[in-house]
């Protein structure tokens, strides 16, 4: 079967799925968007039956310029449509697409009568409503309605839908699409993100070996409240346990973090996204890893960085809603989750300090993180479920 997988973000586990499908004898084209700046997975072709292609160019998306970004994403949707027309797959699997790209791609697939599967990672309409409620931008209220209609229309055009948590099913029930929904939680590539020594080549290069480190690596938007990271490091310093805050990220949070750290006298290292092959060393450099998720994003977003953190075998602090699927995984691993609020930082800093000052406990938590990842992230079962869905959709007439 000829399969086109488009993962707009270029994340690791989607590429891992494409590799596994190719190993099972399918002809797979894995497409990503170069304009989207984020941590990328291994996007190099290394097995027969798999090709990696891209849309976009080196012009990064302007996330803070809404109308310009809308134009960029519409053009990217047209580029993806042309790519689909060239490749002519039997079935397509679409993941992480912004709504303008998704709507254009869904229309093109419908015109070409190519069946496709929506791999629903985030409910964009819900996120935009929360932006509007927070008065982030007056245009967001209109955008939420327009984008919500586009997301719903696209979901109805899909032949099947894969969601990453049970909480998504309620939205699809409202949209009338729950009958074609399958829940398959996200995972992380165990064979690519492995535990490494705390002192490693990357930590040496960055001057972080022997430095007590609190580390965040991954996408970080302003709505995540990045200042919580600085304030947590400040609390630890005031409690007599100073740390170096290391943030690996490119985006609008960088100047916010720099300004907050300078104002509060927090020791901060800011680095851009690192090459994927070095991610185990990056994560291994953190004595403790932190994940942030805004309170109103908890039900419809599962931060994939949490899954990578578990693979790396490190203690993890979650500043995130308790009902999030990633929070449940952290609890299973023995790590801690606190609400993503200023009022939670005193309690969170106590837990972090206890872990940092108890090497045996930190080692135990790290081992449990990795053990949980090995129990939960087996690729074979996930790949088989996707393969069954793609086979069924590929045989069915396109909508």
The residue range of the domain holding 258 is 201-376
Residues 223 and 281 grouped into a single domain: yes
Number of domains in the chain: 2
CA distances from 77 to 50, 70, 343 (A): 23, 11, 42
Residues 238 and 222 grouped into a single domain: yes
Residues 278 and 335 grouped into a single domain: yes
Residues 25 and 99 grouped into a single domain: yes
- Distance CA(122)–CA(139), nearest Å, equals 21
- Segment 59-63 mean pLDDT: 61
Whether 192 is in a domain gets the answer no
Q: Which residues pair with residue 270 across a beta bridge?
A: 247
What letters, b where the CB count within 10 A reaches 16 and e where it falls short, cover 8-33?
A: bbbbbbbbbbbbbbbeeebbbbbbbb
Find the helix or strand (DSSP H, E) in which 288 lies: strand 288-292
| pLDDT for residue 243 is more than 50 | yes
Residues 170 and 290 grouped into a single domain: no
Whether 195 is in a domain gets the answer no
Res. 145 pLDDT band, cuts 50 70 90: confident
Whether 196 is in a domain gets the answer no
Q: What is the DSSP letter of 247?
A: E
Residues 218 and 154 grouped into a single domain: no
Question: Of 197, 196, 151, nearest to 177 (Cα)?
Answer: 151
Whether 254 is in a domain gets the answer yes
- Distance CA(249)–CA(269), nearest Å, equals 11
Helix and strand numbers (H, E) in the chain are 15, 13
- Distance CA(120)–CA(160), nearest Å, equals 10
- Distance CA(354)–CA(51), nearest Å, equals 47
Residues 147 and 211 grouped into a single domain: no
Q: For residue 110, what pLDDT is reported?
A: 95
Whether 194 is in a domain gets the answer no
CATH number of the domain where residue 356 is located? 3.40.50.2000
Please provide the DSSP assignment of 7-30 as one string. Answer: ETT--HHHHHHHHHHHHTT-EEEE
What letters, b where the CB count within 10 A reaches 16 and e where it falls short, cover 150-161?
A: bbbebbbbbbbb
Share of the chain above pLDDT 70, in %: 90
Res. 129 pLDDT band, cuts 50 70 90: low
- Segment 164-193 mean pLDDT: 93
Residues composing the chain: 399
Residues 156 and 250 grouped into a single domain: no
DSSP H helices in 239-337: 253-264, 279-284, 304-312, 325-332
φ/ψ (deg, to 5) at 218? 140, -175
Whether 153 is in a domain gets the answer yes
Residues 114 and 251 grouped into a single domain: no
Question: 42 with 7: CB under 8 angstroms?
Answer: no
| pLDDT for residue 134 is more than 60 | no
Whether 218 is in a domain gets the answer yes
Residues 235 and 177 grouped into a single domain: no
Q: From edge to edge, which strands make up the β-sheet containing 116-120?
A: 50-55, 27-33, 2-7, 91-95, 116-120, 160-163, 181-183
Q: What is the DSSP letter of 228?
A: H
| pLDDT for residue 69 is more than 90 | no
Question: Of 52, 115, 55, nearest to 89 (Cα)?
Answer: 115
- Segment 126-149 mean pLDDT: 60
Whether 212 is in a domain gets the answer yes
| pLDDT for residue 132 is more than 50 | no
User: How high is the mean pLDDT of the chain?
Assistant: 90
Residues 209 and 160 grouped into a single domain: no
Residues 64 and 139 grouped into a single domain: yes
List pLDDT tens digits, range 317-363: 999 998 888 899 999 999 999 999 999 999 999 999 999 999 999 99
Res. 284 pLDDT band, cuts 50 70 90: very high
* Global confidence as pTM: 0.85
């Amino acid at each position: 079967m000829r399969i086109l997988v488009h993962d707009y973000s270029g994340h690791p586990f989607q590429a891992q799925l494409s590799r596994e499908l190719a190993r099972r004898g399918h002809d797979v084209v894995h497409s990503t968007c170069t304009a989207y700046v984020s941590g990328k997975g291994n996007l190099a072709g290394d097995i027969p039956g798999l090709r990696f292609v891209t849309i976009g160019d080196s012009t990064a998306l302007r996330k803070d310029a809404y109308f310009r970004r809308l134009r960029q994403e519409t053009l990217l949707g047209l580029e993806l449509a042309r790519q689909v027309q060239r490749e002519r797959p039997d079935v397509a699997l679409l993941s992480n697409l912004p709504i303008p790209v998704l709507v254009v791609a869904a229309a093109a697939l419908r015109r070409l009568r190519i069946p496709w599967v929506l791999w629903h990672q985030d409910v964009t309409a819900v996120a935009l409503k929360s932006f509007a409620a927070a008065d982030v931008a007056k245009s967001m209220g209109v955008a939420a309605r327009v984008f919500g209609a586009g997301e719903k229309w696209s979901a109805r055009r899909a032949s099947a839908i894969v969601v990453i948590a049970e909480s998504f099913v309620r939205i699809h029930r409202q949209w009338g699409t729950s009958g074609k929904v399958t829940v398959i939680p996200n995972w992380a590539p165990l064979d690519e993100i492995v535990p490494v020594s705390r002192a490693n080549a990357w930590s040496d290069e960055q001057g972080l070996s022997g430095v007590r480190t609190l580390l965040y690596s991954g996408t970080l938007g302003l709505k995540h409240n990045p200042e919580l990271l600085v304030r947590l490091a400040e609390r630890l310093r005031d409690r007599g346990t100073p740390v170096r805050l290391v943030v690996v990220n490119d985006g609008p949070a960088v100047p916010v973090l720099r300004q907050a750290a300078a104002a509060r006298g927090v020791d901060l290292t800011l680095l851009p996204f690192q090459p994927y092959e070095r991610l185990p060393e990056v994560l291994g450099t953190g004595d403790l890893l932190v994940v942030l998720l805004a309170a109103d994003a908890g039900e419809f977003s599962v931060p994939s960085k949490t899954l990578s953190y578990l693979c790396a075998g490190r203690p993890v602090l979650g500043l995130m809603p308790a009902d999030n699927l990633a929070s449940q995984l952290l609890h299973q691993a023995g790590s801690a989750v606190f609400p993503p609020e200023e009022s939670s930082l005193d309690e969170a800093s106590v837990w972090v300090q206890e872990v940092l000052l108890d090497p045996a406990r930190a080692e135990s938590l790290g081992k449990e993180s990795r053990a949980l990842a090995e129990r939960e992230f087996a690729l074979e079962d996930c790949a088989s479920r996707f393969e069954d869905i793609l086979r069924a959709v590929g045989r069915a007439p396109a909508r």
